[in-house]
Structure 1
Amino acid sequence: MPSFHHGDVEIAYIDEGAGEPIVLVHGFASSKNVNWIYPTWVSELVKAGRRVIALDNRGHGESAKLYDAAQYEIATMASDVIALMDHLGIARADIMGYSLGSRMTAILARENSDRVRSAILGGIGIGLIEGGGPGEAVALALEVPSLDDVTDPVGRTFRAFADQTRSDRRALAACLRGSRRLMTREEAAGMRVPVLIAVGSKDEIAGSASALGRIIPGSQVLDIPNRDHMRAVGDKVYKTGVIDFLSRRK
């Protein structure tokens, strides 16, 4: 598995296919494999004629595990994406995130618009601004000895997911505590790249996609029917909508 160093932090990634590049940024407690390879995103985007780059965020997958929450500030995590693009000699790319990865993508769309052709924000709605995603209860759920010790329902969901993916739970707890800075309404309104917001209709974590769409100028909203936060990722409607959006963006 290829990797590179951003400062002292080793970041693992894949780079497949040819054509216009798209960078995929996975969600909290996930990985490039779980979020993008297993649900066939990578293969389908390659089939659609794209060069597909996907990284393991710091603290996740095959990338370095860090235990200081300060090393997971959301802008720092987003900077790993730009560093990867620099490493691969990619001047500009479409970027698609999911959940935490969408929060990173939104920062890049706002602060590095010269590097972002378009931004696809999957699994995040008005929660980008108002919060409501996994919080301290989830961090605590990751630190207890067993899933049986977790009573908070959201905490149980993320603890079970972390156990399923065999994640480093101490690194995830640090990531969660370090990356919770929200985007302001003014920052979101300042995005000047094409944006697609894609959220499952039963997602109780992301917040309203349409509410966020009313704030980001010119953004498009894709509702993923009958899918919650965890099950929307591999949905056919999501994939078709993204490929259509990419084919039409300038």
Structure 2
Amino acid sequence: MPADAPDSAPREHTVPVADGVELWARESGDPTGTPVLLVMGAASSGVLWPDALVERLGRRHRVVVWDHRDTGRSTRAVDVAPYELRDLATDAVRVLDHLGVQRAHVVGMSMGGLLTQLLLLDHPDRVLSATLFCTGALAGAPGGEGLPGPHPDLLALWSRLGETRDEDAEMEFRVEHWQALAGAVVPFPREEVLALERGAVAHGGPADASSATAHARAGTSGLARGAELAGVRVPTLVVEAPEDPAYPPPTARHLADSVPGARLVTVPGMGHALPAAVLEPFGDAVEGHLDAVDAAKP
């Protein structure tokens, strides 16, 4: 590396967010680039973001991932210090504050997409752009009546999240869960998923029943704010995953319609997951959105 080149080596942080509650965070990529905050879904560590996506975005951006409370290396909190899901959105702001980031592109998946919407409503000055995928609009957004819910097979799997399993059985369950989430169009990359989950276990230790259901047991007050999305002015991209069994079509279209000026892009074959087979078109959509916003900002 030339002497004057920026140091792109990953940098880990411990971020205090409440009394006795700390979060693990990691930044990587170009430290001089526009920050990108990746917000993962429920019960999921930040290391579940695919390395290929993090590295791609890191070519021109400072990429930040972190472990929500009750995941990875962050504090197991819900049973000793109960919290609301909306507190996880405030955690995102605390992570930005700790890293000295004033504004960031925010990319949210699943529950992370709901948290990103809360950031758009409560902290728009901290969000350069938003990318929402595998998620739906906050409750109360007009036109949301009658949208389909999660597939029954997926609901059946979710009912088993709190079961106690040995290490091998737990890994098999996680693979089964990801297979259901990924849909049936894109070939399921079993070994890729196994490697990803083994990496998550190496990072944060074996999952227990409490951690697996922590976010399902967190408070849900203050989330019925979908009508407020009509006031959002932050550039927003919604990526539709047509094979998503958790947020099936036309959920993404409804979300895009709920945010003024939001652009909808469909990634064919994509389910509620980011296997290698969809990373190129998904990455193209996200990078194009980030580049357009970066080019337009003062």
What range describes the TM-score normalised by the shorter chain of this pair?
A: 0.7 to 0.9
Aligned to 2:259: 216
Distance 1:157 1:70, change over 3 A: farther
Q: Which segments of 5 or more consecutive residues in structure 2 lack a partner in the other structure?
A: 1-11, 181-192, 201-205
Aligned to 2:237: 196
Contact 1:204 1:229 in 2 (8 A): yes
Contact 1:199 1:232 in 2 (8 A): no
Distance 1:204 1:69, change over 3 A: farther
Contact 2:37 2:63 in 1 (8 A): yes
Residues in 2 aligned to 1:9 and 1:159: alpha-carbon distance in whole angstroms = 33
Task: Give the counterpart of 2:272 among 203, 225, 229.
Answer: 229
Matches within 5 A, 1:56-67: 56-67=67-78
Q: Is 130-139 or 217-226 further displaced after alignment?
A: 130-139
Matched, 1:34 2:48: yes
Aligned to 1:141: 160
Matched, 1:45 2:65: no
Aligned to 1:15: 27
Q: Which segments of 5 or more consecutive residues in structure 1 lack a partner in the other structure?
A: none
Residues in 2 aligned to 1:4 and 1:72: alpha-carbon distance in whole angstroms = 17
Aligned to 1:247: 291
Residues in 1 aligned to 2:81 and 2:132: alpha-carbon distance in whole angstroms = 24
Offset from partner CA, 1:138-190 (integer Å, 9 cap, x none): 6642222349x9xxx9xx72799998654333123121122555443312222
Identity %: 27
Matched, 1:25 2:69: no
Distance 1:240 1:136, change over 3 A: closer
Distance 1:82 1:133, change over 3 A: farther
Residues in 1 aligned to 2:229 and 2:157: alpha-carbon distance in whole angstroms = 26
Deviation at 1:243, TM superposition (A): 0.2
Q: Aligned AA for 1:238?
A: F
Q: Aligned AA for 1:176?
A: A
**How many correspondences in the alignment?**
244
- What's the TM-score, normalizing by structure 2? 0.71
Question: Which of the two has higher C-alpha Rg?
Answer: 2
Contact 2:37 2:106 in 1 (8 A): yes
Residues in 2 aligned to 1:191 and 1:198: alpha-carbon distance in whole angstroms = 17
Task: Give the counterpart of 2:247 among 196, 206, 228.
Answer: 206
Cα root mean square deviation, aligned: 3.4
Residues in 2 aligned to 1:127 and 1:76: alpha-carbon distance in whole angstroms = 15
Deviation at 1:64, TM superposition (A): 1.1
Residues in 2 aligned to 1:133 and 1:90: alpha-carbon distance in whole angstroms = 36
Q: Aligned AA for 1:203?
A: D
Other structure's SS at 2:58 match: helix
Aligned to 1:106: 117
Offset from partner CA, 1:63-101 (integer Å, 9 cap, x none): 111233973412100111100111111111111111111
Matches within 5 A, 1:108-127: 108-126=119-137
Other structure's SS at 1:12 match: strand
Residues in 1 aligned to 2:79 and 2:231: alpha-carbon distance in whole angstroms = 31
Other structure's SS at 1:245 match: helix
Residues in 2 aligned to 1:228 and 1:54: alpha-carbon distance in whole angstroms = 22
Other structure's SS at 2:164 match: coil
Q: Is 161-170 or 72-81 further displaced after alignment?
A: 161-170
Contact 1:6 1:80 in 2 (8 A): yes
Other structure's SS at 1:235 match: helix
